Structure 1
């Protein structure tokens, strides 16, 4: 089981821990226009899934902007998704204000489907734990990072390196 803290306090993660080599579990989240989005909607692409507690915080905002910049160099076979429990309207407002166009922001606010499927739903806060998942074109998880302290940054370079290995 993954041990995660939020501001140095232990939290309980709901759901099942995902590890490299697993088949990616399905989930349903909402796009910014309230349409359901599942893993299958990006079938045949490499997915980099960046998970953040809330786009309206410093580290989450930086993380999303960083992957937005990186997405340009990853090619058309890669889809970069940022998932949080922010309302879709707040995500749309944030992406417009930050001029984020290369990352799809998706909301897990409705039923924590993604959070529980990937073992990142924080029981005490109803937020998602900061994490990164890379999923290949065949829905196999090839890279996982559960950031131990939710307020810290993930290892951007390792995640990008994994995506680039899959595109070669």
Structure 2
């Protein structure tokens, strides 16, 4: 279990992020067209998981925009933005913002939050995903993780990209 804050108030996630050097857990997420995407779909490609509570908040939206800018500059790397938002919300946001360089995956019917230790178990965001970054190499090994301590803060973009 990890403890994070929202505006200074502590609450908990269901577990901890995978350790650097571990094999990343497989996942099933729902894309905007309602098809499913899994970790194995990215085999041979490096992957940044940009995990957050909801694209309908300022900080979460900023992280999608920032990774969208950076993704086009990264060789053999995809960015998958993961939240519990319905796929329709992600499609609406990305369409309105002109987001084309990242992919989105919804955990609304999956165990992703538990498998990656990021589901909130208490507090006002209970049931949503905490803000975190997981970078996975082209063989499925975890290279970098960050559990953002204050949910309202943006992740360390430079730290995530630097391991690539």
TM-score, normalisation: structure 1 = 0.91
Task: Verify: 1:106 aligned to 2:105, yes or no.
Answer: yes
| Structure 1 gaps, min length 5 | 164-168
| CA RMSD in angstroms, aligned pairs only | 1.2
SS at match of 1:54: coil
Instruction: Give the Cα separation in 1 of the matches to 2:3 and 2:121.
Output: 13
Counterparts of residues 59-78 of structure 1 (less than 5 Å): 59-75=59-75, 77-78=76-77
Contact 1:16 1:117 (C-alpha < 8 Å) held by counterparts: no
| Cα shift readout 1:88-110 (whole Å, capped 9, x = no counterpart) | 01110100001000000110112
144-153 or 9-18: bigger deviation: 9-18
Q: Which residue of 2 aligns with 1:6?
A: 6
| Cα shift readout 1:65-106 (whole Å, capped 9, x = no counterpart) | 00000011102x111100001100111010000100000011
TM-score, normalisation: structure 2 = 0.94
Instruction: Give the Cα separation in 2 of the matches to 1:99 and 1:30.
Output: 20
Q: Which residue of 1 aligns with 2:160?
A: 159
**Number of equivalenced pairs:** 161
Deviation at 1:162, TM superposition (A): 1.2
Q: Which residue of 2 aligns with 1:21?
A: 21
Instruction: Give the Cα separation in 1 of the matches to 2:16 and 2:149.
Output: 16
Deviation at 1:117, TM superposition (A): 0.9
Q: Which residue of 1 aligns with 2:138?
A: 137
